[in-house]
Amino acid sequence: MQVLGLGEATEHVGAQGTTRIERLSRRVVRFTTTGLFTSDAGELALEHTRLVLEEIGTGFCGFYDWGAMTGYHPQVRANSTSFVMKHRAQYTCAVFLTTSTMVSMGVNVANLVLGGFLQGTTKRDEFEARFRKALAET
């Protein structure tokens, strides 16, 4: 697998959900999941993140549009939390849009473990404003 170029995207389409990964600037990547976020999709997202981190070093900003996500495989949360703990110094931000109470709770638990740097919102306009700001700053 190769790092996504600027403006490139890839998708994982499964029977229960789809995850799209878009590299919109050198340091900003958007992850959009509809339906179930499976462990295969989670591994793909982490691998693409690893490749971007390898290329840029620091200053990564991930936007996780989970507004249409219905749930996630438990391993996704565990693997993602572990990954971010390992690479925390390379992140500038991680912003999550959620509409599910259960998913919001999972983000809040991960935020406690990671020291409080995750930003979550249930409002699309707030998510999009943070996204536009990050793109403008890169």
CA-wise closest residue to 41 among 21, 66, 24, 61: 21
In CATH terms, 9-137 corresponds, of 3.60.15.10, 1.10.3720.10, 3.30.750.24, 3.40.605.10, to: 3.30.750.24
pLDDT of residue 100: 80
Region 58-63: mean pLDDT is 97
DSSP readout, 33-70? EEEEE-HHHHHHHHHHHHHHHHHH-S-EEEEEEEEEEE
pLDDT of residue 112: 83
pLDDT band at 117 (very low <50, low <70, confident <90, very high): confident
Q: Report the residue count for the chain.
A: 138
The three-class DSSP label of residue 122 is coil
Rounded to two decimals, what is the model's pTM? 0.92
Region 31-45: mean pLDDT is 96
Enumerate the domain spans of the chain. Answer: 9-137
pLDDT band at 81 (very low <50, low <70, confident <90, very high): confident
